[in-house]
Structure 1
Amino acid sequence: MTTFIIDCPRCRAKVGVAETGCAQRTGWDDEASEPYGDKIIVGLCPSCSIPIAGYAQQTNFKGYEGDDYDGWSDVIRVYPKPPKTFSSHRIPRTVTHSLLEADRTLQAGAYLATCVMFGRAFESLCRDILEKHAADKTKKRIMLGAGIRVLRDRNIIDQRLFDWSQQLQAFRNLAAHGEDFYISRDDAEDLQAFMHAIIEYIYDLTDRYEEFKERAEFRKKPKSIAEMFGSITKPHDPP
């Protein structure tokens, strides 16, 4: 029986799972002029017995460009605890991609890389929010530390989020600058929870609040005479 390696969220460790089911597709991408393939595989954790589903992309194709065999990427867990999704369409692609990379590195146990990707996501968020409406477009790009302070000064984030932001920046700096530094899985997961919270706060909740205000304003608008007195002026059927 085929076995795949995947991160178990309950055991919080890499486990070898016996494959009990697989859905696979392959094809040819006309725009890219290259083949593609991916698959979903499922099984039970050998330690805690929870069902786990993973996703993998095909990286090698037998007979294509000299490949002698089919190859696949590492399996990324998609159930339980799939990657976080957000409702706002304003979130920059760089932020989304950085969060996905952070999730992959966290599952792989590469927690230093996870910190770096969270820092990249947060820096992209700062630039999106602060540079988009900046009066002087010629200024140097905003870096993470300065961006965090401006978010606080403009009341875009409160003091507690500012404190969390500084912690993330400190972890990112230590991870990125070659320091003798250890980060635990608990630390990485806490930073992930913070990043998800601040993105929801700045993008998702802001969008939802604006939609709420629009509905409230619409309800305040005065109705037309016909709407207000329609039930009075409408002719009644004779008894």
Structure 2
Amino acid sequence: MTDNSTGSTKHYVLCNRCQKPTNATERGVVTSFDPEVGIPSLVTLVSCDTCKFPLLFLQEDYGQGWDDMFRVWPSATRYLSSAVPKPLRDEHNQARKCFDAKAYTAAAVMVGRTLEGVCAENNVKERTLILSLRKMKDNNLIDERLYQWADELRVLRNEGAHYTGSQVSREDAADALALSEALLDYMYVLSAKFEEFRKRRSGKTRAAAAVPTQPATKTASATRPGKTSK
């Protein structure tokens, strides 16, 4: 979003340093277009009004005006944890590259390949992806919510993989990437962290139970010395 009401151009952006949406002041703009190289591009340099950190954004024109601002520096890419198997990270990175190149239909197809990889990495290789996902659920490898996520991604993959006369939208491709990241994080990062947490807590509980308790101290008789009770 851009605001020119203050006299200096303002943009509402996500600051990489503040890690939150904030106003930013435009510091410079460069427009470039060479028909032999590519499409028109608009590069905008801004500085965060909160922390003064610089950010660089790119917009491109595919014939319908400038598209949304996309941060190119610092990189907006989120890298997956090394706990996610490398083949799956590679598939997801390919999907991200397609998205960054604005090939949204191709990004959706690559997300589908990531789903197929998740099944294969868990030794589930049914005739179709939907059958593999159902077996994953039946084997308690994913719960009902993750199954629903994965099935929606599968449907979007099919729309992208087969000719329908329409393209996958940027919004659908972005959601597909976010959901696939969440799926990978849940299966390979959060689940492992929970197991570590549970084992650590279980070890502390066993250690506490093994500590011997001190015998109770006998209380002295309330009878005063030299005086016998009747």
- TM-score range (shorter-chain normalised) is 0.5 to 0.7
Deviation at 1:53, TM superposition (A): 8.6
Give the secondary structure class of the aligned counterpart of 2:118.
helix
Aligned to 1:46: 44
Aligned to 1:29: none
Choose which of 98, 113, 119 in structure 2 pairs with 1:120. Answer: 113
Percent of residue pairs bearing the same amino acid type: 28
Choose which of 98, 119, 129 in structure 1 pairs with 2:122. Answer: 129
Structure 2: 5+ residue stretches without partners: 1-12, 15-28, 31-41, 48-53, 59-70, 214-230
Give the secondary structure class of the aligned counterpart of 1:179.
coil
Deviation at 1:110, TM superposition (A): 0.1
Choose which of 83, 91, 94 in structure 2 pairs with 1:98. Answer: 91
- Going from structure 1 to structure 2, the CA distance change for 1:99 and 1:215 (only over 3 Å counts) comes to same
- For 1:164 and 1:218, locate their aligned partners in 2 and report how far apart those are by CA, in whole Å: 35
Q: How does 1:78-89 map to 2 (within 5 A)?
A: 79-86=74-81, 89=83
> Of the two, which has the highest radius of gyration?
2
Deviation at 1:146, TM superposition (A): 1.6
> In the TM superposition, what whole-angstrom CA distance separates every residue of 1:16-62 from its partner, at most 9, and x where no partner exists?
x76xxxxxxxxxxxxxxxxxxxxxxxxx94286661399xxxxxxxx
Q: How many residues align?
A: 161
Deviation at 1:126, TM superposition (A): 1.0
Q: Give the superposed CA RMSD.
A: 3.5
Aligned to 1:160: 145
> In the TM superposition, what whole-angstrom CA distance separates every residue of 1:71-101 from its partner, at most 9, and x where no partner exists?
xxxxx94624223322x52x22221011111
Give the secondary structure class of the aligned counterpart of 2:123.
helix
Matched, 1:108 2:106: no
Give the secondary structure class of the aligned counterpart of 1:51.
strand
Aligned to 2:203: 218
Q: Contact 2:46–2:55 (CA<8 Å) still a contact in 1?
A: no
- Going from structure 1 to structure 2, the CA distance change for 1:130 and 1:142 (only over 3 Å counts) comes to farther
Deviation at 1:154, TM superposition (A): 2.5
Structure 1: 5+ residue stretches without partners: 1-9, 12-16, 19-43, 55-75, 132-139, 230-239
> In the TM superposition, what whole-angstrom CA distance separates every residue of 1:96-128 from its partner, at most 9, and x where no partner exists?
011111111101110111011101111101111
Give the secondary structure class of the aligned counterpart of 2:44.
coil
Q: How does 1:116-195 map to 2 (within 5 A)?
A: 116-131=109-124, 143-195=128-180
Aligned to 1:199: 184
